[in-house]
């Protein structure tokens, strides 16, 4: 799956979790936590949504790989392949 398509999937998930956030200006290289009001409970939701929507499992030790949009996409791309 290409970068933009995968990016959109992640945006869709964040949009469902953080309804009050503006997601139009996310910088892919900056930690999501620094740009959006997301805490560890919300990262759990991102992981749960990946499982629910795409049957993708993210083990706890891999959570740090979801830090930025770019690292999310790099980490998830092989799982979507």
Partner 1 sequence: MAHYDTIIIGAGMSGLAAGIRLAMFDQKVCILERHQVPGGLNSYYERLGRRLDVGLHAMTNFARRGEHGRPLTKLLKQLRIPYEKLELSQQHFSRIVFPERQLSFSNDPRLFVEEIGKTFPDQKENFSRLLDTVIHFDDVNLNNKYQSAKEKVREFISDERLLEMIFCPLLIYGSAWENDMDFSQFVIMFKSIYLEGFSRPRNGVRSIINLLIEKYLQLGGELRLGAGIQKIDTENGVVRSVTLDDGEVIQSNKVMSSIGLPETMNIVSEKQECPAAGSMSFTETILFFDKKPANEGIHDTIIFFNDDEKYYYQKSQNLCDYRSAVICFPNNFGYDDYDEGVIRATFIANFEKWNELDRANYLLKKKEVREQSLALIARLFPGFNARLLYSDVFTPRTIMRYTGHIKGAVYGSTQKVRDGRTAFKNLFICGTDQGFLGIVGAMLSGISMANLHCLMNGDKA
Nearer to partner 1, 4 or 40 (CB): 40
Verify binding: residue 63, partner 1, rule CB under 8 A: yes
Length of the chain equals: 81
Nearer to partner 1, 21 or 70 (CB): 21
Are 28 and 69 contacting, i.e. CB atoms less than 8 angstroms apart?
yes
Verify binding: residue 24, partner 1, rule CB under 8 A: no
Are 73 and 6 contacting, i.e. CB atoms less than 8 angstroms apart?
yes
Q: Name the one range near partner 1 by CB under 8 A: 2-10, 23-31, 37-45, 67-75.
A: 37-45
In the numeric block, the tokens 């930025």 are attached to 68
Q: Name the one range near partner 1 by CB under 8 A: 1-9, 24-32, 39-47, 71-79.
A: 39-47
Q: How far apart are the first and last CA of the chain?
A: 7
């Amino acid at each position: 799956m290409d970068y933009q398509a995968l990016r959109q999937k992640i945006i869709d998930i964040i949009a469902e979790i953080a309804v009050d956030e503006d997601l139009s200006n996310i910088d892919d290289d900056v930690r999501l936590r620094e740009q959006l009001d997301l805490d560890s409970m919300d990262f759990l939701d991102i992981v749960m949504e990946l499982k629910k929507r795409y049957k993708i499992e993210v083990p706890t030790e891999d959570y740090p790989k979801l830090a930025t949009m770019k690292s999310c996409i790099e980490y998830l791309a092989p799982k979507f392949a």
